[in-house]
Structure 1
Amino acid sequence: MQYGFTDVLQLIGALGVFLFGMKVMSDALLKLAGDKMRSILATMTSNRFLGITTGFLITSVIQSSSATTLMVVSFSNAGLLTLTEAISVIMGANIGTTITAWLITILGFKVSMSAIALPLVGFGFAFTFAKKSKTQNIGSFIIGFALIFIGLQFLKEAMPDIKNNPEILSFLSRYTDLGYLSILIFLFIGTVLTVVIQSSSATMALTLIMTAEGWIPFEMAAAMVLGENIGTTITANLAAIVANYRAKQTARAHLIFNIIGVIWMLALFYPFLRLVSWLSVQFGSNSPYLSAAAIPVAISLFHTMFNIMNTFLLVWFVKPIAKVVERVVPKRLDTTKAVDEPKFLTNNALKYPETAIATLIKESKYLFKNAVFEIVAHALNIHREDIKSDLKLKKVIKKSNILFETDIRTLYTTRIKHIYGEIIKFATKAQSTLSLTETQNNEVAEIKAANRRMVEVIKDVNELSRNIELYLNSNNPHIKKEYDKLRKKVAKVLRVIYLFRTEKDNNKYYETLKKLKDRARVNKQTDNLEINNLIRKDLITVEMASSLVNDNDNVNDMIKNLIIVAELLYGKRDTILENDTKKAPIE
């Protein structure tokens, strides 16, 4: 048999055309429907059947289980999906990927697309000149769709002609008559091919062509399909290598789910194939055991039945699978990053608008909870645990009379400044590189505003801290009392914010915050009247009064900013940002 290097190159080229067609079509569909698909995925509930439906629909629409799985991994990485939600979506994606096999079988074998594929390319190319991006994407989809079948035709022609070269059959027969060992060999071949090509659709196309041409029998083709189910999980596992533990858990869950399916299918392999053969005959096709031309339909039916049965068998074991995965990949926080390094901002998160926004919110919440909250509490000379406790604030203030050694400027430089800069940089990059909707763009703007407010809070508390240190144990009881009142005001806001962000039923705390914010707006005038009264009665010095007036204004600004940060980061309601003059960060 003459099948030289040139023929091999033609086969690789044909596969390349097919893969390129799949990519062009999938990318165009992602652009056409991606926003809606990701929006549905990002607002998933924990209902496993809804997850399966979502995964099925997304994969059916974008025609790529790998794209769906990578999206799920990215969303898990950003914390948008829980592990159980991610598993159910992947289950649905496995069913959705069977649509591709039917597309190839019906249009590639039952209907000749080669006659109209090339005109379709020209037709689709005309759409790419349109001004509207949607029309351009429709053109790209048509081109990709046509290229799939051009590549499929090239693949058929590039395959060796075994009818005139029967010696190739004698080579394959060594591996097709070994019983279960043959099944395992072709399962391995299917896995390796999918890993190498990085497309289960391309491997499926090769398998279908090999069966239609009589290269391999029905049983071996089915074994290759099982291998493809394992091989397709490698893409997600490779993507999760550089991601966090959530993404790794999702990728491992995909692998475990598919491996379990292959194991039970191997146990029922021959009876299941006889059932598929019987159903094929019932649907009007020939038996795949008797006719090579009937195998593509039978393989597509096998692929669909296996994935549907595997999903509806294991859907009842989503939680146990999740527990196994959590043991294999335990929860792990990144302790290698320095205290002034962002914990969640990664380049991978900039892949989708939803993951970018979720990551920005997580980083901002982490900064507020672990840096701003602590620094403000220490600046007030109060322990965080006292603020979080049920102890009355009057007693908290009374017991907090021993001075802390708190350098606000140093804490700002080491704990906040760099992370704040990285958050703003990340947010700006998201706005400039991603196709954000108006709502998403506003969300990013609000996150930037929340971070700017946090820096303003640190600036205000930096000035307040110096005078607290000066007057906390002053011999003048009046100035001490006034500064204790200021400390109590801020401590109350911190406590309500803590409850607002930690309690499930937080509506009453939201209402309290609104009242405190409104009160802070009017307190500047009323509090200054009290200070004037102290001056008139000569109860405090002019220097004390000057400090007190400035700090009173700072405290009210700080309260307002703290509440706005809480609303922007933790509130579920639309927040109207005030257009007041912004203060410059600490230099």
Structure 2
Amino acid sequence: MDFDLSKLGTADSVILLLVGLGVFLLGFKFLGDSIEKLSASKLRALFNKAAGNRFAGVGVGALATAIVQSSSVTTVMVVGFVNAGVMTLTQAVSVVMGANIGTTITGWLVWLEKFHIMTYAMLLTIIGLVMTMVSKNNKVNTAGNLIASLGLVFVGLEIMSGSMAGFAETDGVRAAFESVTNPILLLLIGVGVTAVVQSSSAVTSVLIVMAGEGLVIGGQGNGILFVLMGTNIGTCITAIISSVGANTNAKRACLYHLMFNVLGTVIIMPFMVGFPGFFNDVLMNWFHDTQTCITFFHTAFNVICTAIYLPFIKYLVKLTEIIIPDRKKRRAGKQSEGFMDKRLLLTPSLALGQLVKQTTYTAGIAIKCLNNAVAGFIAKDDSKLDEMSSDVQKVNELSGEITDYLLEISSKDISLSEERLVNVLHRDNSDIVRIADIAENIVGYTHKAIDETLVFSEVVKHDLTNLMKLLNEQYELVVDIVENNNIVKIKQSDELEQAVDDSKKRLLDEHIARMARGECNAENNSLFVSLISNLERVGDHLSMMAHSVEEVV
């Protein structure tokens, strides 16, 4: 099915072009969202592999961009990871290079439009809509959205293609497109339009569709290739905007993205200028149609640039460090401790992955508070308890930030499994705050023991030390379970929690026996019972965190 719109006037063609572009971008947005939902866990695992080596980073960048259908989104996420301190600058730049390759998948998708598959596209849209309406299964619904979105992409392309027919029949429009032949001006057109639209994929798609209707900007030579190179530079604007307020390394990652695209153009462009017949004499001789030539060049350009610069990552990173030097050294103890970068909210599945790490990090502070509180109680030393209280305050502050971040994620279009994870993290967050509260309770017991000169035997101190060993061991297991969904270790956690319960019972029984023998006075009783009961509750909270993972696996 084709649109015969050659009789349309210029104004009507412009309106139809905008409608087609709107349908295309809408379909592309839904397509990326659907793919992300279906591959959320794989996407998180993918970014974890970026820590391997530079080649792995390039592969991760390419695959992630193919999944989210936007190199800008991938780059912004990388800025978020670097800003959160979970990805090094060297890892980030290889992912950024891969993103440039991954974004060319859009061009090949648009290239399929040359086969005029409008009928099949409409059929895909209908099939996808039917799937979403008749199925109650979440994955089937998401798959239906994906199929319908893919159909919308092609419908939008066909509408744009039809609108171009009106332009193609207008001599003035054709002449205007072909009259711009200056390579620098063509490059700047690509930069400017992409910077405004903030999507190199959208600009490249329009260029391919235009070429299919015989409208080639810059005439029949290399002109269109200069515009394509400009789109690579223009897409950097999104990441640059996202780096405002980010840390030094995140800014360097953005600078590298810009340098990579500019330097790639600087290397390739002189060849294009010196060999004006490259498009017609080489590419057209290989592929015989303009759309395929444009799509191939877009991919080849990014692959070649990556191959050229990949061996020199280390030196280019050093160059970014010279251009953007470190700020004043941070004071000791002021290292970044946040995983919740707002930029990651563009991809909720990745934001949730980072939030899991933030949760276990905060739990670590709470357990540290608990260890310091018990150590202070055993030693009857309150000299470090004020510092511990500030750590408890830090837990409360981070807990509030976690809650706010979870609410922001909840407002996004997330899958059912992600909704369950959000609920689990809310409860885990509450358990962590309770552990910090227990540490504060123990601080109060320490002050009371010091003020009232209460004395506890060496046996009691030894028993408390052993109980804390059990709780620390349980905590380490819980971190593994929560961060890695390692449900096979839940049984071990349960065994440790039971050991804590048994220890509480034994310690209380032995304490009562000591009181009966006159080895402990009555004043100690209430304080000791409260202390042991509080520590047993820590085991309960850790156990609940471990079992919460069963809801999301």
- Judge same fold: TM > 0.5, yes or no: yes
In structure 1, list runs of 5 or more residues that go unmatched. Answer: 1-5, 177-181, 286-293, 384-396, 569-574, 580-587
In structure 2, list runs of 5 or more residues that go unmatched. Answer: 1-7, 136-140, 481-485
Q: Residue in 2 aligned with 1:462?
A: 440
Q: Residue in 2 aligned with 1:520?
A: 500
Following superposition, the deviation at residue 261 of structure 1 comes to 0.9
Q: Residue in 2 aligned with 1:91?
A: 97
Confirm or deny that 1:300 pairs with 2:279. Answer: no
Relative to the length of structure 2, the TM-score reads 0.75
Q: 1:223 to 1:164 in 2, by over 3 A?
A: closer
Confirm or deny that 1:235 pairs with 2:244. Answer: no
Q: Residue in 2 aligned with 1:39?
A: 41
- Paired residue secondary structure (1:43): helix
Q: Deviations over 1:91-148 (max 9, x none)?
A: 333234334445555634xx5x3xx637854773575353342334422321231111
Q: Residue in 2 aligned with 1:380?
A: 374
Q: Residue in 2 aligned with 1:361?
A: 356
Residue pair 2:77, 2:343 contacting (<8 A) in 1 also: no
Residue pair 2:395, 2:436 contacting (<8 A) in 1 also: no
Q: Please, which of 530, 547, 552 is the counterpart of residue 576 of structure 1?
A: 547
How far apart in 2 are the matches of 1:272 and 1:304? 20
How far apart in 2 are the matches of 1:538 and 1:453? 38
Alignment of 1:104-503 (within 5 A): 104=110, 107-108=113-114, 111=115, 113=116, 117=118, 120-121=121-122, 124-125=125-126, 127-129=128-130, 130-132=133-135, 133=141, 134-158=143-167, 161-162=170-171, 168=176, 176=181, 182-207=182-207, 209=210, 212-213=214-215, 216-217=218-219, 218-241=221-244, 248-270=251-273, 277-280=280-283, 282-283=285-286, 285=288, 295-325=290-320, 343-345=338-340, 348-370=343-365, 372-373=366-367, 375-380=369-374, 382=376, 400-404=379-383, 406=385, 414-424=393-403, 426-427=405-406, 430=409, 433-438=412-417, 440=418, 443-472=421-450, 479=456, 481=458, 484-485=461-462, 488-489=465-466, 492=469
Q: Root-mean-square deviation (CA), in Å?
A: 4.6
Following superposition, the deviation at residue 262 of structure 1 comes to 0.9
How far apart in 2 are the matches of 1:578 and 1:103? 39
How far apart in 1 are the matches of 2:172 and 2:11? 21
Q: 1:328 to 1:156 in 2, by over 3 A?
A: farther
How far apart in 1 are the matches of 2:416 and 2:105? 31
Task: Return 304-313 or 453-462, whichever deviates more.
Answer: 453-462
How far apart in 1 are the matches of 2:338 and 2:328? 9
Q: Deviations over 1:352-379 (max 9, x none)?
A: 3423323423433443444x24543453
Residue pair 2:494, 2:543 contacting (<8 A) in 1 also: no
Number of residue equivalences: 518
How far apart in 1 are the matches of 2:299 and 2:201? 13
How far apart in 2 are the matches of 1:267 and 1:232? 22
How far apart in 2 are the matches of 1:280 and 1:446? 55
Residue pair 2:183, 2:273 contacting (<8 A) in 1 also: no
How far apart in 1 are the matches of 2:296 and 2:222? 13
Task: Return 120-129 or 216-225, whichever deviates more.
Answer: 120-129
- Paired residue secondary structure (2:134): coil
Confirm or deny that 1:544 pairs with 2:524. Answer: yes
Give the aligned residue type for 2:414. Answer: S
Following superposition, the deviation at residue 531 of structure 1 comes to 1.2
How far apart in 1 are the matches of 2:103 and 2:412? 30
Tell me which structure has the larger Cα radius of gyration: 1
Q: 1:189 to 1:485 in 2, by over 3 A?
A: same
- Paired residue secondary structure (1:138): helix
If each structure's helix is expressed as a fraction of its own residues, which one has the higher value? 2
How far apart in 2 are the matches of 1:329 and 1:490? 50
Following superposition, the deviation at residue 281 of structure 1 comes to 5.1
Relative to the length of structure 1, the TM-score reads 0.72
Following superposition, the deviation at residue 73 of structure 1 comes to 4.7
Following superposition, the deviation at residue 222 of structure 1 comes to 1.8
Give the aligned residue type for 2:304. Answer: M
Residue pair 2:110, 2:154 contacting (<8 A) in 1 also: no
- The higher-RCO structure (CA 8 Å, 6+ apart) is 2
Residue pair 1:80, 1:358 contacting (<8 A) in 2 also: no
Q: Residue in 1 aligned with 2:483?
A: none
How far apart in 1 are the matches of 2:547 and 2:328? 35
Following superposition, the deviation at residue 227 of structure 1 comes to 0.9
